[in-house]
Structure 1
């Protein structure tokens, strides 16, 4: 049973985060190459804006912010699951190669398969999931030992190795295709949020609607898996079955996000750590906080990135990496 004071603290943090997210969204809507002044925001929302104001708000800013927020949520939850099932605080879908697997799946599909405009948006998360799943299977098999089970440190090392290998494979693929398509995929791999229309929201949202409640339902299993393997087995947890189910969940979340935002790392690393520092290590407490934090962090990164250099800006993935890479090094040094 969770102590009532811990639940109260979580609720306070969630309310404060929600206010911060709304403030960041409002601030971000007013910034950009095409301006929308804050005093015109409310009238435009209620249909009293000019054609330009309504176009900027409903066709450019609003879908981009919603996609960014949903993707950040998915990446943060994926990272929280991976850290729990591997008992490794350095696990992140970008760092251990899952994002790269999703990326190469999308790249092959985009570069070599016939594209149907009507189904392209909705196929992307599925293609990304297949690529990420195959990568996750190989990483898991190479990190698992029959004697000692899953080895957390080895998983990170194998994942980093896979990420580098897939990057090399991507370079080979680039050398044999149309330069225009290569330019698009290169920007996509940098975490340049490109799925900024309403259909991308409908492609991403169902994955979160299903997998967020499912993960919260499995939160107590994650608590047990985060302990030693012997403890989890001792209380009756089917460790390998639960780990595989949750790994599939993490892969699906990461793949759905990567399919519309490109290769973004470190959100899944930072958000769970910050959430644990705020409300404690119990998954029931920190996962909702981590989800909101992930969405907020990616909105902040994208808002800063797209306004640093006009009109194209800096990819959100690069902005996140500028913060996340030093944080990863700090955690790595602290563990050694």
Structure 2
């Protein structure tokens, strides 16, 4: 049973994070190469702005804000699942190669499978999922031992190896590609929020609406898998089946997110850790907090990145790496 004091703390943190997200959205709407006065935000949202104000807000800023929020939430849940099923605090879809696998599939699809622009947006998450799923299967196979089961540390090491292999495959793919297509893939690799338009939101929204509630529903299973296989088996959990289902969920969430944001790493590592440090390791408590932290972190990184150097800015993936890489090293040193 969860203590009422802890539940109350969770609710306060949840409301605080909602306020932080709301404040960051307001700041993000006004900042940028084409700025919109904060006094004009409300009138523009109400349909009383000039053509320029409405174009900047509705066609550029708001789609990008929603994309970063949704992608950050998806990556946070994906990371929490991976950490739970592998019992490894260092697991993250960007670190263990799942995002890189999605990237190779997207690059191959973009370069060699011409398709209409209207369909491209909606097929992209599926293509990313196929690439990420195949990579995850290979990582799982190479990390699994029939005597000891899934080995958490080995999973991270194998995942890093696959991430490097996928990066090499990406270089091979783009070596003979057209300049314009290479520019797109380079933006994807750096984690530039390239899918900043309303159709991209519609493309990833069904994945998030279905899979995040499903993960919350599976919170008890994740709690048991996080402890040990013996405990999970003892209470009647079909460990391998549940682990595969949850792994597919994590892969699908990560693939949907990176298909429109590019190669974003470390959000799935940091958000669950910060949430656990605030409310403890029970998934029912920390998962909703991690979802908001993930969305806020990516939104904040993108807001800072696109305003540091104008007009191009710094890619959100680079900003998250600047924060996440030292955090990963800290966790790695703490584990050894």
Q: Normalised by the size of structure 2, how large is the TM-score?
A: 0.99
Cα deviation for residue 176 of structure 1 reads 1.8
Correspondence list, 1:29-44, <5 A: 29-44=29-44
Cα deviation for residue 104 of structure 1 reads 0.5
Distance 2:191 2:165 in 1: 19
1:206-228, Cα deviation, whole Å (9 max, x unpaired):
11100011001000000000011
Correspondence list, 1:95-110, <5 A: 95-110=95-110
> Does 2:21 match 1:16?
no
Distance 1:215 1:183 in 2: 36
Cα deviation for residue 115 of structure 1 reads 2.0
Q: What's 1:67 paired with?
A: 67
Q: What's 1:80 paired with?
A: 80
Distance 1:200 1:47 in 2: 23
Correspondence list, 1:325-336, <5 A: 325-336=325-336
SS in structure 1 opposite 2:95? coil
Distance 2:109 2:97 in 1: 19
SS in structure 2 opposite 1:95? coil
1:100-119, Cα deviation, whole Å (9 max, x unpaired):
00000000000111121111
- Count of residues in correspondence between the two structures: 336
Q: What's 2:130 paired with?
A: 130
SS in structure 2 opposite 1:93? coil
1:59-78, Cα deviation, whole Å (9 max, x unpaired):
00000000010000000000
Q: What's 1:216 paired with?
A: 216
Distance 1:114 1:187 in 2: 19
Distance 1:67 1:143 in 2: 33
Distance 2:171 2:118 in 1: 29
Cα deviation for residue 43 of structure 1 reads 0.5
SS in structure 2 opposite 1:226? helix
Structure 1 unaligned residues grouped into runs of 5+: none
Cα deviation for residue 15 of structure 1 reads 0.3
Correspondence list, 1:140-151, <5 A: 140-151=140-151
Q: What's 1:323 paired with?
A: 323
Cα deviation for residue 271 of structure 1 reads 0.2
Q: What's 1:206 paired with?
A: 206
Distance 2:171 2:177 in 1: 11
Q: What's 1:272 paired with?
A: 272
Distance 2:327 2:174 in 1: 31
Distance 2:252 2:244 in 1: 12
SS in structure 1 opposite 2:2? coil
1:159-189, Cα deviation, whole Å (9 max, x unpaired):
0000001101111111121122011101111
SS in structure 2 opposite 1:223? helix
SS in structure 1 opposite 2:314? coil
Q: What's 1:302 paired with?
A: 302
Q: What's 1:256 paired with?
A: 256
Q: What's 2:172 paired with?
A: 172
1:48-90, Cα deviation, whole Å (9 max, x unpaired):
1111111111000000000010000000000000000000000
> Does 2:241 match 1:244?
no
Cα deviation for residue 299 of structure 1 reads 0.5
Distance 1:43 1:179 in 2: 42
Cα deviation for residue 5 of structure 1 reads 1.3
Distance 2:5 2:208 in 1: 29
Structure 2 unaligned residues grouped into runs of 5+: none
Q: What's 1:157 paired with?
A: 157
More off after superposition, 264-273 vs 164-173: 164-173
Distance 2:7 2:49 in 1: 42
